[in-house]
Amino acid sequence: MKAVDEASIQDIHSLLNVAVVGHTNTGKTSLIRTMLRSTQFGEIEDGAGTTRHVERATIFAGNEAILNLHDTPGIEDSHALLRQLQAISSRHKTLSSAEILEKFISTTSIDDPLEQEAKVIRQVLRSDVLLYIIDVREPVLEKYLVEIEVLSKAMKPIIPVFNFIAEHTEELAVWRKKLAAFNIHASLEFDTVAFSFEAEKRLYQKIQSLVELHYDRLQKLINHRAKAWDQLCLSAAKRIAELIVSVACYRENKYRHNDNIADSTAAQKLKDFVRKAEQRCLRDLLGIFNFSENDIALQKIPVSNGQWQLDIFAPGVLKAYGLDVGSAALKGAAAGAGIDLMVGGLSLGAASALGAIAGTGWSTFRRYGKEIKAKIQGTQWLCVDENTLQILYLRQQQLLAKLMHRGHAACHADQIDTAVPSASEKLPNNWPAMISILQQNPAWHKPSTSRNQNPQYQEIEAKLIKALLESD
């Protein structure tokens, strides 16, 4: 056991060392948390000077250690730091710039005002690559340029990482231009709290191009992460498909003596089932992507205390999801919003239920004659109506998109929360046919071997998953 420990310790020492540096409060610790997929690392606060010491974290591909990330305290006084370096340089004219930095750290005592900066510089000198994190919301102040000037004295490759990029494209352009003056062209946009798998991949590729020696190891990490990411998205899409199936297949027996569908106990039971099913799905999805309450707030996902803020059966829900309120209101008058009547194994559609009940005209009867007969003679069930199923699907689809693109979603939060343009376009192909099959297979509402092996079920599940992943 000891030998293994020693081997792994040695392994960690031979790894690529990446220092995450920058001005204070730019999101250095946040970036590391994102890269580690862990909310446990370090301290994060909306204020300067949160990280006080250098802290190491190792990134693995499976069991294999790939690289060390070093979180560093934020640089606070770059002007004083530069002055100090200039003073050393004038005293020791023959020293190289890196040697001046060495001299600086060896002569800075624990209670020196530049103690934090010395910690940063020490780690910079011990690292192979520097990620310089920039808060693009900040103007390009002299103090930041001085930071870059000081860091470049270490002669290590610097990759600028632009953070807080959402809605700050102009500022981003200014930053790029300024950095070009330092001959730093290769930069990355990376919303740290927000996560985009593609941005992360580009980050590793950039490091790969700068430190050839570690190319293969980094490639292993890229491949490993790509696979894990695909699996993550697949399990999330699968979970949503399960929700849609379980709700579409669900039926509640309607007792005939109670004619008011909307207020019946059966309708309440049905609604309750749908709400709980959606809530469980939400919890599972957040769990799959390891989302915290903080992430939910940052992404403006309309969820509080683990529940959707807008109840799926609330009157405003149709409008919020771009569905036809007019025709739905008519249906609602008959059956109660969200509820449909199913007779003899077929969903009548709430509007036709209205027609049947009120005896409106020959055409309704001709179309639904058989069902109406069954209605009189046979068992009646309540099921979830078409609109509710659409909303259920669209809502999960949006949630999935936000979970998959934390950062990008954050830039368009208002748009996403209030309106979904062309809702029907976003539904999977053959949606009505799929729903009709599901409604006729109430036994599928729970997973079972016979359901899961049924080719028709498998086809529907695959179509739902494909549509969810493609809509991204």
**Residues engaged in binding ligand GTP (CB under 6 A):** 24-30, 44-46, 48-51, 73-74, 163-164, 191-194, 298
49 binds, among Mg ion, ligand GTP, none (CB under 5 to 8 A by kind): ligand GTP
| Complex with ligand GTP: residue 195 or 321, whichever CB lies closer | 195
To Mg ion, the closest distance from the beta carbon of 29 in angstroms equals: 3
Instruction: Kindly determine how many residues on this chain lie close enough to bind Mg ion according to the rule CB under 5 A.
Output: 4
| Complex with ligand GTP: residue 135 or 461, whichever CB lies closer | 135
| Complex with Mg ion: residue 17 or 26, whichever CB lies closer | 26
| Complex with ligand GTP: residue 107 or 292, whichever CB lies closer | 292
To Mg ion, the closest distance from the beta carbon of 65 in angstroms equals: 23
To Mg ion, the closest distance from the beta carbon of 47 in angstroms equals: 10
To ligand GTP, the closest distance from the beta carbon of 403 in angstroms equals: 16
Nearest residue to ligand GTP, by Cβ distance, number only: 74
> x/- contact string, 291-330, with Mg ion (CB under 5 A)?
----------------------------------------
45 binds, among ligand GTP, Mg ion, none (CB under 5 to 8 A by kind): ligand GTP
| Complex with ligand GTP: residue 57 or 465, whichever CB lies closer | 57
3-state SS, the chain, equals CHHHHHHHHHHHHCCEEEEEEEECCCCHHHHHHHHHCCCCCCCCCCCCCCCCCCEEEEEEECCEEEEEEEECCCECCHHHHHHHHHHHHHHCCCCCHHHHHHHHHHHCCCCCCCHHHHHHHHHHHHCCEEEEEEECCCCCCHHHHHHHHHHHCCCCCEEEEEECCCCCHHHHHHHHHHHHCCCCCCCEECCCCCCEHHHHHHHHHHHHHHCHHHHHHHHHHHHHHHHHHHHHHHHHHHHHHHHHHHHHHCCEEECCCCCCCCCCHHHHHHHHHHHHHHHHHHHHHHHHCCCCHHHHHHCCCCEECCEECCCCCCCCHHHHCCCCHHHHHHHHHHHCCCEEEEECCEECCHHHHHHHHHCCHHHHHHHHHHHHHHHHHCCEEEEECHHHHHHHHHHHHHHHHHHHEHHHHHHCHHHHHHCCCCHHHHCCCCHHHHHHHHHCCHHHHCCCHHHHHCHHHHHHHHHHHHHHHHCC
To ligand GTP, the closest distance from the beta carbon of 12 in angstroms equals: 23
| Complex with ligand GTP: residue 27 or 332, whichever CB lies closer | 27
Residue 325's nearest CA partner among 278, 391, 263, 268 is: 391
46 binds, among ligand GTP, Mg ion, none (CB under 5 to 8 A by kind): ligand GTP
Total Cβ atoms within 10 A of residue 182? 13
| Complex with ligand GTP: residue 197 or 365, whichever CB lies closer | 197
Asked if residue 50 binds Mg ion (CB under 5 A), the reply is: yes
24 binds, among ligand GTP, Mg ion, none (CB under 5 to 8 A by kind): ligand GTP
Site for Mg ion, residues 19 to 48, rule: CB under 5 A: 28-29
Site for Mg ion, residues 357 to 416, rule: CB under 5 A: none
To ligand GTP, the closest distance from the beta carbon of 56 in angstroms equals: 15
| Complex with Mg ion: residue 35 or 465, whichever CB lies closer | 35
Nearest residue to Mg ion, by Cβ distance, number only: 51
5 binds, among Mg ion, ligand GTP, none (CB under 5 to 8 A by kind): none
| Complex with ligand GTP: residue 48 or 180, whichever CB lies closer | 48
Asked if residue 51 binds Mg ion (CB under 5 A), the reply is: yes
Asked if residue 163 binds Mg ion (CB under 5 A), the reply is: no
Residue entry with tokens 């959606």: 278
The contact set with Mg ion (CB under 5 A) reads 28-29, 50-51
